Amino acid sequence: MKSLAELKAIRDKMQGTIGLRAEDETATRVVVGMATCGIAAGARPVLTAFVNGVQEKKLSNVMVTQTGCIGLCKYEPIVEVIEPGKDKVTYVHVTPEKADEIIEKHLVNGQVVSEYIIK
């Protein structure tokens, strides 16, 4: 970097990148609990299943993220589906196979998989 203009160009480029990371408030969020308890219970393959499944189905309106402790350790792995304007749905004891079913039934077809939710 040799000038102030180069520094400004770098700043502008990075601000554009940061803008891409902003959350889309119209998107459905899939949040996987990835605290120590979740990881120990198998949350890492569940997260991978959601990321891969959403990409394979080309669900551009779905954002898969991770969080720390959700506070219900005995129910791990836990996945929350948060759709704009709807109540949050909390799935418990999720496996990669259940993740595939949740993607197909809930994220694609809009039907909550009631046998996997916390009661």
In a domain, residue 87? The reply is yes
62 domain residue, yes or no: yes
Q: Is residue 109 part of a domain?
A: yes
Tell me the C-alpha distance between 60 and 44, whole Å: 22
What CATH number has the domain bearing residue 28?
Answer: 3.40.30.10
Is the sign of the CA dihedral 23, 27, 28, 30 positive or negative? negative
**4 inside domain:** no
Answer whether residue 9 is part of any domain. Answer: no
C-alpha angle 79/68/41, rounded to 5°? Answer: 60
- The full DSSP string for 42-65 is THHHHHHHHHHHHHHTT-TTEEEE
- In which domain, by residue range, is 31 found? 22-116
Position 2 in a domain:
no
pTM above 0.95, yes or no: no
Number of domains in the chain: 1
How does pLDDT run along the chain (119 residues), one tens digit per residue?
Answer: 577 888 777 777 666 544 444 556 789 999 999 999 999 999 999 999 999 999 999 998 999 999 999 889 999 999 999 999 999 999 999 999 999 999 999 999 999 999 999 87
pLDDT given for residue 14 in this prediction: 66
